[in-house]
Structure 1
């Protein structure tokens, strides 16, 4: 197959590059905004037709959650209308589309893991635009697969893990919220499951994927420091209202992964195991 990966310089895009080496029987077209502006539907259609693309994997998004509150138009353009355009092009050209979405489509008021059947109810600009993108994709492309994920990190780009490593080495004390509960997701594991879907055949629909297990941001930070051998920084739990942010966060956004596990026959690693894998790679790079 000829596979187009958008947002190729981001966390997931870079992991897709790594995993693509394990599947050399496909031809890959890794693009970012300087190569292909996904907001320009004519450019996308020309690219897809010109390269006989069979599958689009959309890893591009506006992910600055707090900034989105003041940049609604740009956020909507990237998270809502760009995926809609990709879906139109995919449908027109007979291609499949895998689109990555987020746990922020839920308001986080539940107390049990969210299944794909639960009605979304976002409470931030970021979440609203991502949900709108999902809806357009499902409406416009008959071979669309949406994967909602959460708390994404990797050895690439800027993310929570790298920030906590840096702060843990710079500071003696650090406060982190303990009343927001979810599951970290290693982008390498998400890339792996995307390739499972590619190899076994895209099954249209909405799916949830994160690593296994549950924790708070506080627990996540404590584990990052423990596994990295950081002992000079004392991490304290904070309530959400002690750490004000422009955009509201879901207090509980654990995703139920039963559907994706059954559909593609996969096993998902526990978040702590995958965190250890990522930290070892970061240590090797240093």
Structure 2
């Protein structure tokens, strides 16, 4: 709904008063390339006006009389505009209009037919933030065995979790574009894009590490060049065919600095006593620490 403020002139201009009458109608405007943001002629037009606490429609009527411009104004804009107090002397028409509608978001458009269109700015839709997505799943190895303790991290953040004893996990990600990084000692890391998925079943592949380059220790992985402690490797084939009843006894004589003493004679079935680098310690236990799959 628009209101039109126009100056109608006859030969004798006796009908001028009729041109200021308020007309309310529905106008279907087709804005073409001839309608620009600010026409050069509109910017150059100067006007003087002095009003106090008057409706905006009265101001537009006066501007029509003073400038010869016809005004087409959105009816909602007129209703929302408060009474106007304005004093301007030889001010640009565009500046006067901006002061009239300074409290509203409007577009003021001039065309080359001495017509000014005043309308509300189009509202740009605000894209709603994507809701967080809950992701659950399970992590296994190539043999289908569950992997507990696998790190599950949202890429680019410090937010993450670890898999439970059954290899299961649950995590909330910001959106469909989130990437989850799965990593575990001795396995290749894997990155997965969520893409609308809510259940992820991940299979991690073992990493073929060369012990000449990388040493897998109980507290992580290190380059051999940075390892300062003594590292001894015992191949599985070295203990596979030994006639012993426990894995501990199989280490006897294979690892320098490791002493293995069997108590089978006095206590049949008892595990052997193992000492690493001697038996003297001031504050620590002499018992070795066994770490299996990262768990002591």
Please report the TM-score for the alignment, with normalisation by the length of structure 1: 0.21
Structure 1 or 2: larger strand share? 2
Largest Rg, 1 or 2: 2
Q: Which has the higher helix share?
A: 1
Q: TM-score, normalised by structure 2?
A: 0.21
